[in-house]
Amino acid sequence: MTYELKKIAIVGAGGKMGMRISNNLQGSHYSVTYCENSPRAQEQILATGRTLSATNDVVPQADVVILAVPDVALETVSAQVVPQMKNGAILLTLDPAASYAGLLAQRDGIHQAVAHPCHPSVFLERYTKEEHADAFGGNAAVQDVCAAFESGNDKQRSELANIIAVMYGPVGVVHWVTVKQLAYLEPTLVETVACMVGSFMKEALDETINRIGLPEAAAKAMLYGHIQIALAVSFRSTNPFSDACMIAMEYGREQIIKPDWKKIFDEKELDLIIARMLKIDAVRKADAA
Ligand SMILES: NC(=O)c1ccc[n+]([C@@H]2O[C@H](COP(=O)([O-])OP(=O)(O)OC[C@H]3O[C@@H](n4cnc5c(N)ncnc54)[C@H](O)[C@@H]3O)[C@@H](O)[C@H]2O)c1
């Protein structure tokens, strides 16, 4: 197969995501260069046997520049990198927030893409110890990826999907959505709701152990099993919740959830949370001028 997207530059290659995607891209058929500005993170890259490159040296040659830097740095780093990129190259970021907020430097001829890993599904059939141990994905357990690529052509999209499948591999499906849709997935659906509920359940577990005095092992056994069954019943209709359980659930809703909670899906709220995450006053929108 002939492919055009061969040279990849990773900026922020010594960070958490930078190391993960570098581990997967190293040894692939892509030509990959690694850029990092923190001395400690540079040492981590060197310890893996990879070599360091200067961003300004490799970006002008790259077909794809992956910015694995913190979201709050993306405005500055993209302003440095985008003017140096070659025509037709792709700027790939790993989270939709900065793109949605209009913080990324734009240039005619430079395409922008965002690819965010879904993490392996709670319903994934796992067979090996390695698959069971891989909660984050990118190692042994298959995960899907949600990605946005709103300019460029189908060939580039298909080549980009191949790169995404390597960097986050093993990957099942790359789901193409818009940047705005991706922002509704993360943060709204998975961070504002799912991660919040996860940490909320941990708080309830601590309260059960510390305030009520339940043995930790008993409380954990009861909760972990019920997390599994609650998800199976809610998402897969394996069997119905019992009548008494539904009364307790209704009580939980009344006590814990605000009646107007669905406003988190209002665009105004999405704008507010993205601005808060990026530590900016407000998101910038092309149609706001
Ligand atoms: N951490 C996660 O679980 C996770 C998951 C999915 C997506 N993401 C996204 O991945 C991106 C990176 O997040 P992270 O958690 O890996 O961040 P991180 O803070 O762990 O790493 C960022 C790295 O970028 C480096 N860096 C900063 N400015 C630089 C510059 N100008 N030149 C070269 N290197 C520079 C830093 O030194 C650091 O090593 C973000 O967009 C984030 O939203 C993170």
pLDDT reported for residue 117: 98
pLDDT in tens, 227-254: 999 999 999 987 899 999 999 999 999 9
Task: For ligand 1, atom 31, name the residue with the nearest CA.
Answer: 77
Task: Select from 22, 40, 48, 69 the residue to mutate for testing ligand 1; criterion: most ligand atoms less than 8 Å from CB.
Answer: 69
Tell me the longest C-alpha to C-alpha distance in the chain.
66
Is the CB of 77 inside a 6 Å radius of any atom of ligand 1? yes
Distance of alpha carbon 65 from alpha carbon 130, whole angstroms: 30
Task: For ligand 1, atom 35, name the residue with the nearest CA.
Answer: 12
Average pLDDT, the chain: 96
Average pLDDT score over residue span 132-141: 98
Atom of ligand 1 nearest to the CA of 93: 41
Q: Is the pLDDT of residue 116 over 50?
A: yes
Which domains, from first to last, does the chain contain?
Answer: 7-177 (3.40.50.720), 185-278 (1.10.3640.10)
Distance of alpha carbon 143 from alpha carbon 118, whole angstroms: 6
Average pLDDT score over residue span 182-210: 98
Is the CB of 94 inside a 6 Å radius of any atom of ligand 1? yes
Is the CB of 271 inside a 6 Å radius of any atom of ligand 1? no
pLDDT reported for residue 287: 59
Is the CB of 37 inside a 6 Å radius of any atom of ligand 1? yes
Q: Is the pLDDT of residue 16 over 80?
A: yes
Is the CB of 18 inside a 6 Å radius of any atom of ligand 1? yes
Is the CB of 45 inside a 6 Å radius of any atom of ligand 1? no
pLDDT reported for residue 40: 97
Confidence of residue 289 (pLDDT cuts 50, 70, 90): very low
Element (H, E) at 90: strand 90-93
Are residues 56 and 84 in contact, defined by beta-carbon separation less than 8 angstroms? Answer: yes
Task: Select from 17, 95, 104 the residue to mutate for testing ligand 1; criterion: most ligand atoms less than 8 Å from CB.
Answer: 17
Q: How far is CA 39 from CA 8, 44, 59, in A?
A: 22, 9, 20
Are residues 121 and 135 in contact, defined by beta-carbon separation less than 8 angstroms? Answer: no
Average pLDDT score over residue span 211-230: 97
Q: Is the pLDDT of residue 24 over 70?
A: yes
pLDDT in tens, 150-193: 988 999 999 999 999 999 999 999 999 999 999 999 999 999 99
